[in-house]
């Protein structure tokens, strides 16, 4: 592809080695067939992609590192990379979903920067992998902290005619969008399960977007309103609330009147994949409770209370008496 002529001929991809049922190693099959037959069957990878089961070897000499693993492996991976990467390496994280702890969220880009001492951007957006793989049109957002030139390099690297990438200077805003949308998707799933119709679903998505924005800005005052109009914001929220496993399980939960737990539904419906929205809702609730912000976030709070059985699914629309006014916290009406 002509877009990539400024980049190296070989792109090394670290692969967590697995032995396939045929007895072959996954990395060897990828290099032989140019296809990840286990995780993205039917799609040819670029010819310049070389699978490498040796993490240290994969990153050696690399000056651009793309992180895309389940987020629970990131701490271990970073520990193994300390001292093994180039000093001038630049990182980007595509990892959606991060840990929200009581004292605030632990962001993956911050983890990378702190552990490895390098700069890290993020890439988020309405990006269901299978649809991108078959080259259907979509968009994505690069979030960067300071260095616009680096962000533009990442844009140039990822951009194609069917994958439109924009850069915004708001790494926290972009990264928080990717996590918080899953909580909203749980709420949207309840509305679907209760067959409340499109007005209600749109209202819940809108209130959810407002709470995503307000929560992000309370945690990081540098977060920009405009970020929520980007692909990482409104577009990813729409995709996740239309399809997506969080929405799907929440729909089933509401249809069963909350009588079957999320653990049970997850095991039955997701074949081993994990539901991020329920645990994120819990983590967000803890932050809200810890900081005294519960009343400001009726949707986030209600989603969690429904998930743990403290409220019925129908409560998703029953907080209209408590219209929040974020200005009492932030000292400004900017949150609306």
Which residues make up each annotated binding site for substrate?
Answer: 96, 245-246
* 321 interacts with a copy of itself by CB under 8 A: yes
Binding segment for a copy of itself among 42-50, 105-113, 202-210, 292-300 (CB under 8 A)? 202-210
Three-state DSSP class for residue 141: strand
Angle at which helices 276-291 and 198-219 pack, to 10 degrees? Answer: 50
How far from each other are the two terminal CA atoms of the chain, in whole angstroms?
43
* 317 interacts with a copy of itself by CB under 8 A: yes
The dihedral built from the CA positions of residue 118, 119, 125 and 131, taken in this order, carries a sign that is negative
- Give least dist CB 29 to a copy of itself, A: 28
User: In this structure, are residues 190 and 250 in contact, taking their beta carbons and an 8 Å threshold?
Assistant: yes
Pairing of the two strands 90-93 and 64-67: parallel
* 133 interacts with a copy of itself by CB under 8 A: no
Nearer to a copy of itself, 11 or 43 (CB): 43
Near a copy of itself by CB under 8 A: residue from 36, 119, 120, 127? 127
- Give least dist CB 217 to a copy of itself, A: 13
* 161 interacts with a copy of itself by CB under 8 A: yes
* 137 interacts with a copy of itself by CB under 8 A: yes
Binding segment for a copy of itself among 11-19, 50-58, 142-150, 232-240 (CB under 8 A)? 232-240
Nearer to a copy of itself, 68 or 267 (CB): 68
Near a copy of itself by CB under 8 A: residue from 27, 216, 239, 246? 239
Separation of CA 321 from chain center: 32
* E strands, the chain, in order: 11-14, 49-52, 64-67, 90-93, 99-101, 104-106, 120-124, 138-143, 163-168
Residues whose CB is less than 8 angstroms from the CB of residue 10 and which lie 6 or more positions away in sequence, other chains included: 48, 50
Give the integer Cα–Cα distance in Å for 233 and 206.
11
* 236 interacts with a copy of itself by CB under 8 A: yes
Binding segment for a copy of itself among 11-19, 107-115, 132-140, 215-223 (CB under 8 A)? 132-140
* 242 interacts with a copy of itself by CB under 8 A: yes
- Give least dist CB 316 to a copy of itself, A: 8
CA 108 to each of CA 66, 71, 96: distance values in angstroms, whole numbers, following the listed order: 12, 8, 9
- Give least dist CB 49 to a copy of itself, A: 22
Give the integer Cα–Cα distance in Å for 322 and 301.
12
List, in sequence order, every residue forming a beta bridge with 123; answer none if it has no partner: 142
* 39 interacts with a copy of itself by CB under 8 A: no
Is 44 designated active site? no
Nearer to a copy of itself, 116 or 140 (CB): 140
- Give least dist CB 22 to a copy of itself, A: 32
Q: How many helices and strands in the chain, by DSSP H and E?
A: 14, 9
User: In this structure, are residues 267 and 252 in contact, taking their beta carbons and an 8 Å threshold?
Assistant: no
Give the integer Cα–Cα distance in Å for 79 and 284.
27
* E strands, 99-239, in order: 99-101, 104-106, 120-124, 138-143, 163-168
Binding segment for a copy of itself among 22-30, 252-260, 284-292, 320-328 (CB under 8 A)? 320-328
Interface mask toward a copy of itself for 84-123; x: CB under 8 A? ----------------------------------------
Catalytic residue among 25, 101, 146, 181: 181
Q: Which of 10, 7, 9, 29 is nearest to 18 (CA)?
A: 29
Which residues bind to a copy of itself, rule: CB under 8 A? 126-128, 131-132, 136-139, 161-162, 164, 196-203, 205-207, 209-210, 213, 225-226, 228-231, 234-236, 238-239, 242-243, 317, 320-321, 323, 336
- Report the catalytic residues: 181
């Amino acid at each position: 592809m002509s877009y990539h002529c400024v980049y190296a001929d070989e792109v090394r991809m670290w692969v967590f080695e697995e032995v396939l049922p045929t007895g072959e190693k996954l990395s060897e099959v990828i290099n032989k067939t140019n296809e990840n037959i286990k995780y993205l069957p039917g799609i040819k990878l670029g010819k310049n992609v070389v699978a490498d089961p040796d993490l240290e070897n994969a990153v050696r000499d690399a000056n651009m590192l793309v992180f895309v693993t389940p987020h629970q492996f990131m701490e271990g991976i970073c520990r193994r990379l300390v001292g093994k990467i180039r000093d001038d390496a630049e990182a980007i994280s595509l990892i959606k979903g991060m840990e929200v702890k009581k004292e605030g969220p632990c962001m993956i880009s911050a983890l990378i920067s702190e552990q490895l001492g390098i700069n890290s951007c993020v890439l988020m957006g309405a990006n269901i992998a299978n649809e991108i793989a078959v080259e259907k049109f979509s968009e994505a957002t690069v979030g960067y902290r300071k260095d616009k030139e680096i962000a533009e390099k990442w844009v140039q690297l990822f951009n194609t005619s069917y994958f439109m990438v924009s850069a915004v200077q708001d790494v926290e805003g972009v990264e928080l969008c990717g996590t918080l949308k899953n909580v909203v998707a749980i709420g949207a799933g309840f509305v679907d399960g209760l067959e409340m119709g499109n007005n209600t679903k749109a209202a819940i998505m809108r209130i959810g977007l407002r709470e995503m924005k307000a929560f992000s800005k309370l945690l990081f005052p540098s977060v920009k309103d405009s970020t929520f109009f980007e692909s990482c914001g409104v577009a990813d929220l729409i995709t996740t609330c239309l399809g997506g496993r969080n929405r799907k399980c929440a729909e089933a939960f509401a249809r069963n009147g909350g009588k079957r737990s999320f653990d049970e539904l997850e095991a039955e419906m997701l074949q081993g994949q994990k539901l991020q929205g329920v645990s994120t809702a819990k983590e967000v609730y803890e932050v809200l409770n810890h900081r005294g912000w519960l009343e400001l976030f009726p949707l986030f709070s209600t989603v969690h209370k429904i998930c743990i059985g403290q409220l019925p699914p129908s409560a998703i629309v029953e907080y209209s008496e408590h219209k929040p006014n974020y200005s009492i916290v932030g000292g400004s009406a900017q949150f609306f």
